[in-house]
Amino acid sequence: MADLFPSELAVINLGLPAFGQDIARQGAAVSSPEWRPPAGGDPATVAALTRMLAWPEAKRQRVAEANREAGKRLVAAQPVAVAVGRALDLVPGMTRKHVLHAGPPLTWERMCGPVRGAVIGGLLFEGLAKTREEAEKLAASGEITFDPCHHHQAVGPMAGIVTASMPVWEIENRAFGNKAYCTLNEGLGKVLRYGAFSQEVIDRLAWMRDELGPALQAAMKSHGPLDMRTLIAQALQMGDEGHNRNRAATSLVIRALGPHLVESDLPKAVVAKVLRFIDGNDHFFLNLSMPSSKAATDAIADIPWSTLIATQARNGTDFGIRLAGLPGRWFTGPATMVDGLYLPGFKAEDAAPDIGDSVITETAGIGGFAMAAAPAIVRFVGGSASDALRFTQQMYEITETENSAYAIPALDFRGTPTGIDVRKVVEKGILPVVNTGIAHKEPGIGMVGAGLVKPPVSAYRNALQAFVETYADK
Amino acid sequence: MADLFPSELAVINLGLPAFGQDIARQGAAVSSPEWRPPAGGDPATVAALTRMLAWPEAKRQRVAEANREAGKRLVAAQPVAVAVGRALDLVPGMTRKHVLHAGPPLTWERMCGPVRGAVIGGLLFEGLAKTREEAEKLAASGEITFDPCHHHQAVGPMAGIVTASMPVWEIENRAFGNKAYCTLNEGLGKVLRYGAFSQEVIDRLAWMRDELGPALQAAMKSHGPLDMRTLIAQALQMGDEGHNRNRAATSLVIRALGPHLVESDLPKAVVAKVLRFIDGNDHFFLNLSMPSSKAATDAIADIPWSTLIATQARNGTDFGIRLAGLPGRWFTGPATMVDGLYLPGFKAEDAAPDIGDSVITETAGIGGFAMAAAPAIVRFVGGSASDALRFTQQMYEITETENSAYAIPALDFRGTPTGIDVRKVVEKGILPVVNTGIAHKEPGIGMVGAGLVKPPVSAYRNALQAFVETYADK
């Protein structure tokens, strides 16, 4: 090579890796920048990004300002648990004929196995049907209104089924006054949210309605508001990330409410059973983490010009997002499969596609975005501790801001990456990291595993294109 | 330089860093190995190490085998909490005239401020004296037997005072049948173990004797043995390290005992008060972590030929260690000052020297040795999250083995460094990392801060020299 190039050679290789390797083998310095075409080279998306770049400076400033405002609101959120009560009494617009489900809107015909199973369970639980067959007939009859939880200020994990008699947590975002709702967590194994509807499942729901709900209602009344922001912040220092690892936060709820349960008028057998039920279920806090995240993100549900994502949710058929700047519009892509670890006796072929409203945690800046705080979660969802660190670090690339209230010890107390900017997702081709449980694809079976999932890029591209079109002439 | 050295130069610099810097400035490659003379160049210690190296192979093998055995026993330890009861009833050799204290043996005359304060408080609490003056007179009279906790199968945090009526935890090492004891944790602020003895302190001790102790006794009877190994393992996945961060483990104890407290015959006001007391004190588990560590390390208290450290403890005057191969002998150096963070209103001049039996946690392979599991602890003891990681990694240099039961998520579930080898400490000049609370130097005041402390190297050097002398002719 010295014959060809008399002076010392320093090469930047933009071609195939093999080109650079050949040069390196000759002893020259080679740098290979990691470059990928924007938006994966997708012509329609590149065109949309290009149009935005060509907007006048003033217009681009409006987007930047709107995103700053949205980021500020997410960080300023003060979710506080204020009560427990019946869905019929608390959830706006709820009736006895409503069945709320996770994700974007969905008809009975398009529902996947676990959502159908959970709908059947919900109708049996409410006494609207006596058998599986009756429930399926009723569900298909048009007499039942199927609505997304998200259209009723609510969220639901996995199938996310909410019916009238279920007890729900009420969360208030004290910074903005809006409220959010979520059912109580049933535990793992055969549970409604994973599509199981056997008598055991229905009996547990009845106990939750008759004893657990009223007990928590009494404890909350005695305790007063329970600050979710402080509690989540503490849990992030204790190895939780607020989506699939909630052991610490569940412990802190037990610590906070325990004395009030004891002092209530409830029989001690009920108090002990309630404490054992919560202790037996480290995911108990998920159903507080989710409405806390919903209460935070609903404060950016309508911010004109903002490209931040206000909602992400899946119903097992579609994955959908909503943008702060395009209120009320869902942009969807097909729900994808989860890459994860399976419970003994199950395998990838048994899995339903990605499902549930729990991705609201990532949308608010915790969950997969805070995995660096929860390295032990990789034992549940797969991967190594360094993956957990890397996932969080990568999410700073696609977010507007950092939430200093949610400090990650392992990153020297850096705040969690917060406020997903759909432009950055689409341009950089970096999809939000989501960790999640996996449901069996057939109704009636339940949980089969947990893992990580890549949402469909089409939902984000469609949203960006719609944004560019909507604001093109404004 | 090209004139002096015609071929390319690669330099290993063993001299002053400046030599290497000069060469690097000329453009040549310089490597500066981090070399320090063994044992810091201390002649007597180097002589002892050299003598050991000259021992016949068979003799050196006996040391290696003894250390392997000691390491195995530490890892095999199965500490289980079995009961709560009065010190007088449970602690071997305890009488109404005994006052146990932390660290190596110590007379009243040599006691530092906080230990004197705690002794005064203990005598007031037992009704053996009515005023501070009476207590001081009694303590100096020779009528009271001052013994190290460690001589009674016990450990005590900070001053470590144990008197007859105090309730204690009983821990059994199920793998070896030995038992260990520790009082219940009083909380932070003005507490006996930090040398405070005001009426508030004595009243709390009386409540602990009359209500808290019996309540925990009842809960433990109903619950049955509580597996400390499993609980500590879980806490290490939740950001605890078992010495100065015990928030997760305290939560898990509340979760385990809560239902049993509720089901007991105790009035609900007492149950609620007990739950609130534990919830109000994230250090509550320290007094379970310590005797669990003591139960583990006592299984290596007498292993001929082993250079592993079986005990480390401080009384505020001396820092002392005992070796597995030299049972019953204390090797001491002067207690050192703690480098830490101070509570508002206090500063380094207020601090007493390093004190307490809590360094038994590091001796068993948790505490400072597990700081990589607890990055949030740096907010309490100072430093950065990367320090926490580095401390644990460095401790692998001076330990015999790793405890796979205590997996550190951030190190991809590597076991904690376990079994401190006094040879490695002395030869490499790497002292065990200890994190600790800081007491005010005057009696009666209490806690002023927390931080990290370097034990005196002389204790380790003396122990090694005694080991070499003892085994020279065997």
How close does chain B come to A251, measured CA to CA in Å?
Answer: 6
Residues 6+ apart with CB under 8 A from A15: none
Q: What is the mean pLDDT of residues A60-68?
A: 98
Q: Is B267's Cβ below 8 Å from some Cβ in A?
A: no
Residues 6+ apart with CB under 8 A from A7: none
Name residues of chain B where pLDDT drops below 70.
Answer: 1-6, 34
Instruction: Read off the tokens for A208.
Output: 């939750």
Q: Residue written as tokens 């705040």? A: A415
Report phi then psi at B98, rounded to 5. Answer: -90, 140
Q: Residue written as tokens 């063994």? A: B38
pLDDT at A157: 97
Tell me how far apart the alpha carbons of residues B74 and A261 are, in angstroms, rounded to a whole number.
Answer: 41
Q: What is the mean pLDDT of residues A204-209?
A: 98
Tell me how far apart the alpha carbons of residues A405 and A412 are, in angstroms, rounded to a whole number.
Answer: 13
What does each C-alpha distance from A396 to A387, A426, A454, B64, B440 come to in angstroms?
15, 14, 17, 49, 44
Q: The domain B76-293: what is its CATH number?
A: 3.90.1710.10
A293-320: per-residue pLDDT in tens?
999 999 999 999 999 999 999 999 999 9
Q: What is the mean pLDDT of residues A102-117?
A: 97
Q: Do B385 and A268 touch (CB under 8 A)?
A: no
Instruction: Check residues A12 and A266 and name the one with the higher pLDDT.
Output: A266
Spell out where B87-165 has E strands.
98-101, 145-148
pLDDT at B1: 56
Secondary structure of residue B310 in the 3-state scheme: strand
pLDDT at A28: 78
Q: How many of the other CB atoms lie within 10 Å of CB of A47?
A: 13
Tell me whether strands A98-101 and A145-148 are parallel, antiparallel or unpaired: parallel
Q: How many of the other CB atoms lie within 10 Å of CB of B3?
A: 5
Domain coordinates in residue numbering, chain A:
10-35, 44-72+301-471, 76-293
Nearest CA in chain B to A414: B385
A339-387: per-residue pLDDT in tens?
999 999 999 999 999 999 999 999 999 999 999 999 999 888 888 999 9
- Among the listed residues B284, B273, B207, the one whose alpha carbon sits nearest the alpha carbon of residue B249: B284
Instruction: Provide, as residue numbers in chain A, all residues whose Cβ is less than 8 Å from the Cβ of B272.
Output: 259, 262-263
Q: Do B239 and A413 touch (CB under 8 A)?
A: no
Q: Do B276 and A269 touch (CB under 8 A)?
A: no
- Specify whether domain B43-74+300-471 bears CATH 3.40.50.740: no
Q: Residue written as tokens 């959970």? A: A118
Q: Do B410 and A385 touch (CB under 8 A)?
A: yes
Whether A1 shows a pLDDT value over 60: the answer reads no
Tell me how far apart the alpha carbons of residues B246 and B281 are, in angstroms, rounded to a whole number.
Answer: 9
Instruction: Provide, as residue numbers in chain B, all residues whose Cβ is less than 8 Å from the Cβ of A384.
Output: 412
Q: Is A280's Cβ below 8 Å from some Cβ in B?
A: no
Q: Is B222's Cβ below 8 Å from some Cβ in A?
A: no
Q: Do B254 and A252 touch (CB under 8 A)?
A: no
Q: The domain A44-72+301-471: what is its CATH number?
A: 3.90.1700.10
A136-158: per-residue pLDDT in tens?
999 999 999 999 999 999 999 99
Q: Note whether A69 and A310 are within 8 A (CB).
A: no
Q: Note whether A234 and A370 are within 8 A (CB).
A: no
Q: Do B268 and A263 touch (CB under 8 A)?
A: yes
- Indicate which of B275, B380, B386, B404 best probes the interface with A, i.e. most A CBs within 10 Å of its own CB: B275
pLDDT at B379: 86
pLDDT at A2: 59
pLDDT at B465: 97
A23-38: per-residue pLDDT in tens?
777 777 888 776 778 8
pLDDT at B2: 59
Partners of B309 in the β-ladder: B323
ipTM, two decimals: 0.91
Nearest CA in chain B to A387: B412
Instruction: Provide, as residue numbers in chain B, all residues whose Cβ is less than 8 Å from the Cβ of A269.
Output: 263
